[in-house]
Structure 1
């Protein structure tokens, strides 16, 4: 799962810096347990030019927090990454 073609929506392309997009894909690849078809990322700017990223999935339960340097996200955003078996798509929650 999440190892075939990868796509992203216009919203992600326009609002999420490339470095963060790559980081989110790598977080999915790095999961050591079975991956759910839906990966959820909640991203929130915090003090000192940092981002708090919460990565989670439902089945099996997985949740991990990360803090990284903010490269251009100014407000809280939720991102879904969905794998349908043929390809994976990264999208803003508002585009779902």
Structure 2
């Protein structure tokens, strides 16, 4: 799972810096092979830090990262594997 070609939406391209996109893909890549097809990322500002909460339902998973950031972002994103391709998108684009 998550080994197909990877795509991003226009919303991701315009709102999420490339370094954060790559970080979230790496988070998914580091998961054990038993992965949910839907990975959820909640981005929030915590002081001057970027908080990224990565979670999934089956199997249940939750991990929080705090990264230094000059411009923290507040967004909800999904990374979805539909079997043919993997896509990162804003929740509002779903």
Report the TM-score when normalising by structure 2.
0.94
Matched, 1:56 2:62: no
What is the CA-CA distance between 1:70 and the residue it aligns to?
Answer: 1.8
Q: 1:71 to 1:34 in 2, by over 3 A?
A: farther
RMSD after superposition: 1.2
What is the CA-CA distance between 1:15 and the residue it aligns to?
Answer: 0.1
Deviations 1:26-74 (A, max 9, x none): 00001125110000000001113x1111000000101111111225344
Counterpart Cα distance in 2 of 1:67 and 1:47: 10
Q: 1:26 to 1:41 in 2, by over 3 A?
A: same
- Structure 1 runs (4+) deviating above 2 angstroms are 71-74
* Aligned match of 2:81: 83
Counterpart Cα distance in 2 of 1:39 and 1:72: 23
Aligned residues: 94
